Every structure is written in C-alpha cells, then in structure tokens.
C-alpha cells in the first residue's frame, strides 16, 4: 500500500520513528504541506495521513485511488467526513492519546495563575529578594485552591482526568455534562443543571467539550458576565469555544481574574488575537498534546489504525 504523511513534523519532529508505518507499505513523509501542494503529493496514494492539512471533497474527487485517511489527532474537522463516506473512504482518528498530558497542562496554567512561580523566580534572579527588608515578598496574590469549585464543560476522558487532579488539590468539582447526576456522584462530582449555574458558581472553569455549532463561542460576553471577578478560565480544548474579544474585554476590565489558554481561534495567530497582551491572560502555543509520551502513543495508534484497515477491520472510524 502507498502511504503519504502530509504533515508529520508536529507529531514527530525527529525524536520518534516512522518505521511502524514504513513496514506497512511504500511510505513518503512530508514535514509540512501547503494547500497548493496537497494534490501533487497525495496523487496515487491509497492511504494518507493528515494533522492539519484540509482534505476536501474536491481533493478526494481528484484522488481515485484513495481508500484511507488517517487523522493524526483526535479532532477530525480537517476532513470532509460526509464526502469521504459517500466515496467509501475510511477515516480514522486517534482518541484518548493525550489525556493525561492535556490534564497536566490544565493544572500548569491554573497553578501559574494562582502562584505565578515564574514571575517570582525571575524576581529573585533580578536580585529583588536579596534586597528585600523582609524574609518574604509577593508580586501577586497567592491563592489556595482547597475548597474552591472547579467547573468543567465536557466530562470525557480529559475532563475526567482534570477533575481527578482538581479533587486531589481539595477542590470541589461541578460539571456540565450529558452524564446523569448519579453517574457523576459516583465520581464525587456535582452536576450543573445549566450553563448559568456552572459559570456563576465556578472559581475555575475548564473547557473540555468538542467544537460544534452549539459550542462555538460557548464563552461569550453574556456568560462571562455571570462569572465571579475572582474566577479563572482555562481552555485546552478548541480556540473557537471562546469569543476572544469578549474574554479580552472581561480580563482588561477586571471582570474575571485570569485566563490560561493553549488554543486560539486562528493557529498560528498570524493576524494577532485580542487575547495576546490581555490582562492576566497566559497563552501557550497549543502544546498540551505534545509531550513525547503522548506523541509516542499517537504514533503507535496511527500504525494500529492502518494495520486494522489493511486487515479489513478498521478501528477508530469517524
């Protein structure tokens, strides 16, 4: 089988191996592929993988030999799924490979905002502790999380992992989820009956839901107005879950205390973002998924997906 990896650099910048896929057929790996290069590079391939390269219906029409598309991520909005189904092309994704890595970054953002470790470490490096009149000084409020409410939208694998870590810090967890109250209670989680309850009661609100028409701009000006002025918003899900201008306004006006985001509306934000430079807004460049452990799992599952397809028993089909 002829296999083409269209944009492999993000998943494997050189510290992992493509040998697993290479053993399954004739493999060509491209680090990155521009839109005007996709057709030429995918031509003749029976299987292609993509992370962020768009695979449209028009492209599929020009690739008559294509039988399989492997998305090297959990989200698969880069592929026109109805068009693939219509043409009998199997599309798979990589579920649950980065659960603990993403949950870990949720907490990294939260602890950064509540303790500002880097800020204080830099101050010591600059000599500010050495010249202090007291044995201690703080440059930001030091916030204890014990008994605070950790709100979650979406209680899948990552949301549940984040909930467990929050509970270990002594936080109470409140979730807006399709799961019933009894199921949540067994996990020590309270169920929010509506978004308004979740936004009003949460001291920390973490987004873990998929991006759909219903969740686009889930965080908007009205819902931000429900939040406590001491509240913290964390987003490691999808950038468009947040109306960036509304959040920037809320931060700059002190209507919520802080935000930690790993995703933006446009990535990379070549034309900027209202959140860049907003008060108490801390942005990381979509790195939650990118630990070597998570990427190793991704690569392993990608190989297993192709093997299963070749055996006539495709798995992780979307």
**What are the tens digits of pLDDT across the range 64-92?**
999 999 999 998 989 999 999 999 999 99
Query: What's the domain range around 249?
Result: 99-283
Asked whether residue 230 falls in the same domain as residue 246, the answer is yes
Asked whether residue 113 falls in the same domain as residue 162, the answer is yes
Alpha-carbon distance of 191 to 176, in angstroms, equals 6
Number of DSSP helices (H) and strands (E) in the chain, helices first: 12, 12
What are residue 198's phi and psi, to 5 degrees?
A: -65, -50
Burial class (CB in 10 A: 0-12, 13-18, 19+), 5: buried
Q: Annotated catalytic, 200?
A: no
Q: pLDDT tens track of the chain, all 318 residues?
A: 999 999 999 999 999 999 999 999 999 999 999 999 999 999 999 999 999 999 999 999 999 999 999 999 998 989 999 999 999 999 999 999 999 999 999 999 999 999 999 999 999 999 999 999 999 999 999 999 999 999 999 999 999 999 999 999 999 999 999 999 999 999 999 999 999 999 999 999 999 999 999 999 999 999 999 999 999 999 999 999 999 999 999 999 999 999 999 999 999 999 999 999 999 999 999 999 999 999 999 999 999 999 999 999 999 999
Question: Active-site residue among 223, 238, 295, 297?
Answer: 238
Asked, for residue 315, whether it belongs to a domain, the answer is: no
Asked whether residue 177 falls in the same domain as residue 117, the answer is yes
Asked, for residue 106, whether it belongs to a domain, the answer is: yes
Asked, for residue 316, whether it belongs to a domain, the answer is: no
Residue 160: CB atoms within 10 A of its CB come to: 21
Q: Who's near 126: CB < 8 A, 6+ residues apart?
A: none
Report the first-to-last Cα separation within the chain, whole angstroms.
Answer: 21
Give the pLDDT score at 64: 97
Asked, for residue 81, whether it belongs to a domain, the answer is: yes
Does the pTM surpass 0.75? The reply is: yes
Asked whether residue 64 falls in the same domain as residue 193, the answer is no
Asked whether residue 22 falls in the same domain as residue 122, the answer is no
Q: What beta strand segments (E) does the chain contain? A: 2-5, 26-29, 47-50, 68-71, 90-92, 149-153, 172-176, 189-191, 204-207, 232-235, 258-261, 281-283
Residue 269: which CATH number? 3.40.50.720
Q: Annotated catalytic, 217?
A: no
Asked whether residue 134 falls in the same domain as residue 221, the answer is yes
Q: Annotated catalytic, 196?
A: no
Asked, for residue 317, whether it belongs to a domain, the answer is: no
3-state helix, strand, coil split of the chain in percent (to 5) is 35, 15, 50
Asked whether residue 193 falls in the same domain as residue 70, the answer is no
Asked whether residue 245 falls in the same domain as residue 231, the answer is yes
Asked, for residue 318, whether it belongs to a domain, the answer is: no
Asked whether residue 15 falls in the same domain as residue 60, the answer is yes
Asked whether residue 186 falls in the same domain as residue 272, the answer is yes
Asked whether residue 157 falls in the same domain as residue 142, the answer is yes
Domains: count for the chain:
2
Asked whether residue 157 falls in the same domain as residue 257, the answer is yes
Question: Active-site residue among 120, 217, 286, 304?
Answer: 286
Whether omega for the bond prior to residue 268 falls within 30 degrees of 0, making it cis, is yes
């Amino acid at each position: 089988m002829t296999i083409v990896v269209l944009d492999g650099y993000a998943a494997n910048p050189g510290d992992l191996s493509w040998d697993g896929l290479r053993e399954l057929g004739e493999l060509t790996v491209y680090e990155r592929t521009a839109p005007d290069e996709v057709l030429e590079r995918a031509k003749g391939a029976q299987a292609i993988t993509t992370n962020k390269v768009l695979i449209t219906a028009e492209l599929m029409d020009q690739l008559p030999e294509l039988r399989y598309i492997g998305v090297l991520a959990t989200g698969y909005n880069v592929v026109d799924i109805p068009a693939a189904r219509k043409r009998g092309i199997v599309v798979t994704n990589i579920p649950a490979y980065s659960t603990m890595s993403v949950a870990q970054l949720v907490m990294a953002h939260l602890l950064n905002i509540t303790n500002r470790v880097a800020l204080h470490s830099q101050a010591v490096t600059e000599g500010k502790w050495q010249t202090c009149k007291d044995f201690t000084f703080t440059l930001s409020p030091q916030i204890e999380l014990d008994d605070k409410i950790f709100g979650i939208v979406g209680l899948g694998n990552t949301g549940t992992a984040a909930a467990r870590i929050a509970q270990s810090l002594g936080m109470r967890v409140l979730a807006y989820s399709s799961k019933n109250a009894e199921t949540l209670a067994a996990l020590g989680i309270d169920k929010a009956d509506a978004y308004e309850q979740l936004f009003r009661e949460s001291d920390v609100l973490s987004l873990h839901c998929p991006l759909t028409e219903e969740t686009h701009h889930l965080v908007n000006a009205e819902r931000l107005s429900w939040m406590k002025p001491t509240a913290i918003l964390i987003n490691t899900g999808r950038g468009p879950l947040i109306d960036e201008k509304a959040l920037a306004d809320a931060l700059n006006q002190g209507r919520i205390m802080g935000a930690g985001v790993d995703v933006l509306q446009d990535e990379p934000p070549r034309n900027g973002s209202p959140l860049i430079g907003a008060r108490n807004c801390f942005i990381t460049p979509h790195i939650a998924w990118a630990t070597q452990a998570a990427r190793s799992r991704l690569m392993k599952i990608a190989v297993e997906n192709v093997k299963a397809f070749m055996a006539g028993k495709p798995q992780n089909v979307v």
